Amino acid sequence: MRVLGVDPGLTRCGLGVVDGLPGRRVRMVGVGVARSDPASDVDQRLLTIEAQIEEWIEEHAPDTVAIERVFAQHNLRTVMGTAQVAGIAMVAAARRRIPVALHTPSEVKAAVTGSGRADKAQVQTMVARLLGLDELPRPADAADALALAICHLWRPAGALGAPQRPPSSGLTSAQARWAAAEQAARRRG
């Protein structure tokens, strides 16, 4: 399974693609940060981030998109931008019928470090170790995106945040097979 992790942010949005391998092993496919100019109007900043997320989805053809669940912070402006970018990522995935999962920051930290209270440095170190990277993924937004993808891959089926495909998804079995074939072709492509 291939997961695109999205650590939403209006100035820096972390993006990380990880493949799940047999035996709970993981392999990094790509990592980066979508950026927008803080001097631009919010609508233009959202458009810029959205275009970059779309490019990542097209290039990497994920099976699932895992997004950090927005939580209340003291800075309302930061929460709003984060929530708006999370919504854009959800729409980009939904447009392609790619399942979306939301994970809390503490859930992600616990999955990769064993502690839901780990700091950014601990998350970066463990992500690098789990993925066999020579260097820590930077900035922290990129490491967080990879951690989101790893967390999702390691969630048991049916757990909170795990991909759910309700029977009312509207796809027939033939349509589902076609969508899967289309994703596989984009990966090869």
SS3 assignment for 11-22: CEEEEEEEEEEH
Q: 3-state DSSP call for residue 102?
A: strand
Write down the architecture of domain 2-188 according to CATH.
Answer: 2-Layer Sandwich (3.30)
Residue 139, pLDDT score: 92
Instruction: Choose among 81, 83, 82, 100: nearest CA to 92.
Output: 100
* Known catalytic membership, residue 107: no
The domain locations on the chain are 2-188
Residue 4 has pLDDT above 90, yes or no: yes
Helix 105-113 and helix 120-131: axis angle, to 10°? 50
Asked if 80 and 6 touch (Cβ cutoff 8 Å), the reply is no
Give per-residue pLDDT as tens, 140-158. 999 999 999 999 999 865 4
Task: State the binding site.
Answer: 7, 68, 141
Point out the annotated binding site for Mg(2+): 7, 68, 141
Of 43, 54, 59, 141, the catalytic one is 141
* pLDDT tens digits, one per residue of 94-113: 999 999 999 999 999 999 99
> 138, 144, 131, 163: which is closest to 19 by C-alpha?
131
Compute the distance between CA of residue 27 and CA of residue 107 in angstroms, rounded to an integer: 20
Q: What is the pTM of this model?
A: 0.82
- Judge whether 68 counts as a catalytic residue: yes
Give the active site residue among 50, 68, 107, 144. Answer: 68
- Indicate the burial class of 17 (C-beta count within 10 angstroms; 0-12, 13-18, 19 or more): buried
What is the rounded distance in angstroms from the CA atom of residue 141 to the CA atom of residue 104?
A: 15
Give the pLDDT confidence score for residue 165 in this predicted structure.
38
Beta bridge partners, 34, equal 13
Give the C-alpha separation, 36 to 9, whole Å.
9
Task: Based on the residue annotation, tell me whether 7 is a catalytic residue of this protein.
Answer: yes
Closest CA to 7 of 75, 108, 99, 97: 108
Mean pLDDT of 71-100: 88
Question: Is residue 163 pLDDT above 50, yes or no?
Answer: no
| Confidence at residue 184, expressed as pLDDT on a 0 to 100 scale | 72
pLDDT at residue 74 tops 80: no
